[in-house]
Structure 1
Amino acid sequence: MVKAWFEMKLWKRIVLALILGVIAGTLLGEMAANIKWIGDLFVKLIRMIVVPLIFVTLVSGVVSMGSPKKLGSIGIKTLGLYMGTTAVAIFIGLTLAAVIQPGVGVSITGGEPMQTADPVPLSTQLMNIIPANPVMALAEGDILAVIFFAIMFGIGIMLAGEKAKPVADLMESASEVVLKITHIIMEVAPFGVFALIAAVAGTRGAETLLDIFPLAGTIIAGCILHVVIMHGSLIRFVLGLPAIRFFKDIIDAQLVAFSTSSSSATMPVTIAVAEDNLGIKPPVASSVIPLGATINMDGTGIYVGTVAVFVAQSFGIELSLVDYGLIALTTTIASIGTAAVPSASLFLLAGVLSVMGISADQTALVVGFLLPFDRPLDMCRTTVNVTGDLAVCTAVAKWEDEIDLDEFRRDPNI
């Protein structure tokens, strides 16, 4: 029985835990609150790993870009496009969430009043991004300061070159270690989900779980719009290539991305699709796509931006244009280091929600609320991420004359 449990894919275990949690909560009623501590334990594990995960993966992501001198024309165009498409994705997510308002009337805290930190002036927020003491920033979980220091640290490693190779190797190893710890924590997820859902269903009623559907619909709508408007327009109107042919050619990579929820796991297929189906030459495909798996997070941008507004609406926080700008900026920067593994975006939320005065405890509540439903949303946003990798790769290849246009335009069914 135990072996069969661990042989089952994690997302299936989480879905099973969700269903069993609803049943248990309905049957036990108020008594289900007695097992909530298991869910709280899981939430505490999430809080424990957020800061080290963001720091080491972000440093590793910056270092993976290579020496600035080596990036050259391909690197500049690639970075510019990836950052630009991610910014557009975040804008779409924020706009849809502001218009649809999926968080209005939703109580993540079960009806209990939720106090957030007093608003901090923009000038103070910008000054606080630069930590007076990076060690204290890490210890206190000051996410924006951690992000800034991680980027500076990564740039320092790049500029130091060969002398900093031991440090670069250390950060890459540390990234792998932290990701392994994250995987261990995610193994606890089904039990945490079961306890949290049972407690919610028992004390507040199973119908409360329906609150997630407006948010899910908003995120999925954002993903579809971004693929059609941003990626489709880039291929058709900017590059002058047939967009329908592009989408037909990349279906294999999209299906693998959808099933694995991992840009990294999909990378071999993505590169093969770029070279074999789109006619992109290896020098571009082998450099642009791995970089995209690290820093191109269009789907993640839609997800995090939408969830940030959802949380603000749920907590009754009025967002100004400055707040929207800070959310967009933080999401764009933090997405550079988002690990290309399932559910990594949940951990990115800590940095983004902090700009709205949301504490670590409150963020953990949000993560606990979202986690049971995250897998299908993760499948959608990873598909968008991989589509973006291939769209940007096609653009860079065409501008660098590193694409076989006859191969691109040929019938994929032949």
Structure 2
Amino acid sequence: MKKKMSLPMQILIALVAGIAVGLVCYFGGFADITTNYLKPFGDIFVNLLKFIVVPVVLLSMIDGIISMNDMRKVGSVGVKTVVYFLCTTAIACVIGLVFANIFNGAGLFPVLDAASAEYEAKEFGGFMSTLVAIFPTNMWKSFTDANMLQVIVISLFLGGSILAAGERAKLCRDFVSSAYAVIEQLMSFIISLAPIGVFTYMAWVVATQGSEVLVSLLLVIVCAYLGYIVHAVVVYSLSAKIFVGMSPVKFFKGAFAAMIFAFTSTSSAATLPVSKECAAELGAEDDIASFVLPLGSTINMDGTAIYQCV
């Protein structure tokens, strides 16, 4: 029986094919074809991912909390997760600043004309106002706005309440498990379309932006990507080895599909369904992954931290 090609390999082939098609369209002068006829399919795929993100986060976190069956375990995992995220983000900031200062000190960054640039920053209301804002006043509005921090808070309260209710909440437990099983099937179907999304988006990006953007900001991009590579190789390799005893090669091979899709979609939230699939294949406990991954897609922005510092 012929073995089916793995999703990461399909995505990689789609990525290379998209770049090739994009270059042909860029140099051939018909980039409009990718904008009018390819990008819409990528948009449809990303829309499907965004559509499923809220139910995935809501149901996976509630199901994860219920599966742990102990709020003390939930609290323990939550504290460890947040502490780990804070540490990796701090390391990412340091890496970004180190590389940025090296490049800037060597005079490698382009000097931009900021005379006509205007930007008025919004006033920061302080930590307490930010804290208040993550607690929703309207559950449905949190869902429709896809406010992921509020969705996470809702999940924590609902999951904790189901645990506290005990046997009286058996119907809710069964409903969450059943609904999550349905969402998982839907998620698998949408993820199977990832190569199409990657191909169409890469072809559009390369065809419309070509080499101009890359050339003008090449050294800035190089600086940022050096930071990404160092952070991924050092921090994530050590994390996999120290905390799980897993070979870094095995970890990156297992996470490849999520990494490639995050690269092409530039969205942590949209990548969440793919990340869940990768976590399952790597052997992560489902209840822990269901709880940790939604948190990570919302508050653990290491790549963004490096990018902002650069």
What is the TM-score when the length of structure 2 is the normalising length? 0.67
Q: What is the correspondence of 1:229-308 to structure 2 with a 5 Å cutoff?
A: 250-251=245-246, 256-261=250-255, 262-267=278-283, 292-295=288-291, 304-308=300-304
Q: Does structure 2 retain, via aligned residues, the 8 Å contact 1:17–1:194?
A: yes
**1:153 Cα offset (Å):** 0.8
Task: Indicate whether 1:180 and 2:179 are aligned.
Answer: no
State the distance in 1 between where 2:147 and 2:45 align. 21
**1:140 Cα offset (Å):** 2.5
Task: Indicate whether 1:193 and 2:190 are aligned.
Answer: no
Task: Indicate whether 1:145 and 2:161 are aligned.
Answer: no
**1:174 Cα offset (Å):** 2.4
2:139 aligned residue (131, 134, 141): 134
State the distance in 2 between where 1:54 and 1:62 align. 12
1:62 aligned residue (56, 60, 65): 65
Q: Which amino acid aligns with 2:151?
A: V
Change (3 A) 1:181 1:37: same
**1:42 Cα offset (Å):** 1.7
Q: Does structure 2 retain, via aligned residues, the 8 Å contact 1:36–1:199?
A: yes
Change (3 A) 1:258 1:228: closer
Q: Which residue does 2:45 correspond to in 1?
A: 42
Q: Does structure 1 retain, via aligned residues, the 8 Å contact 2:224–2:307?
A: no
Q: Does structure 1 retain, via aligned residues, the 8 Å contact 2:59–2:180?
A: yes
State the distance in 1 between where 2:304 and 2:41 align. 26
**Equivalent residue of 1:64, what SS?**
helix
Q: CA deviation digits over 1:110-165, x for unaligned, max 9?
A: xxx9x999555234332221111212221222222211111111111111122223
- Unpaired runs of 5+ residues, structure 1, are 107-112, 236-245, 271-288, 315-414
Aligned length: 262
**Equivalent residue of 2:69, what SS?**
coil
Q: Which residue does 2:96 correspond to in 1?
A: 97
Q: CA deviation digits over 1:10-31, x for unaligned, max 9?
A: 1111111111111112222223
Q: Which residue does 1:26 correspond to in 2?
A: 23
State the distance in 2 between where 1:36 and 1:230 align. 37
Q: Does structure 2 retain, via aligned residues, the 8 Å contact 1:97–1:309?
A: yes
Task: Indicate whether 1:13 and 2:10 are aligned.
Answer: yes
Q: Which amino acid aligns with 1:92?
A: I
State the distance in 2 between where 1:223 and 1:48 align. 29
Q: Does structure 2 retain, via aligned residues, the 8 Å contact 1:98–1:309?
A: no
**1:256 Cα offset (Å):** 4.4
Q: Which residue does 2:260 correspond to in 1?
A: none
State the distance in 1 between where 2:79 and 2:176 align. 25
Q: CA deviation digits over 1:233-282, x for unaligned, max 9?
A: xx7xxxxxxxxxx99xx356x55444333333333xx8xxxxxxxxxxxx
Change (3 A) 1:177 1:197: same
State the distance in 1 between where 2:147 and 2:78 align. 27
Q: Which residue does 2:125 correspond to in 1?
A: 121
- For the aligned residue pairs, the C-alpha RMSD in angstroms reads 4.1
Q: Does structure 1 retain, via aligned residues, the 8 Å contact 2:88–2:302?
A: no
Q: Which amino acid aligns with 1:259?
A: K
State the distance in 1 between where 2:228 and 2:299 align. 6
Q: Does structure 2 retain, via aligned residues, the 8 Å contact 1:263–1:293?
A: yes
State the distance in 2 between where 1:295 and 1:97 align. 28
Change (3 A) 1:153 1:76: closer
Q: Which residue does 1:331 correspond to in 2?
A: none
Change (3 A) 1:258 1:230: closer
Q: Which amino acid aligns with 1:181?
A: L
State the distance in 1 between where 2:184 and 2:121 align. 30
**1:81 Cα offset (Å):** 4.2
Q: Percent identity at matched positions?
A: 23
**1:64 Cα offset (Å):** 2.4
State the distance in 1 between where 2:234 and 2:209 align. 35
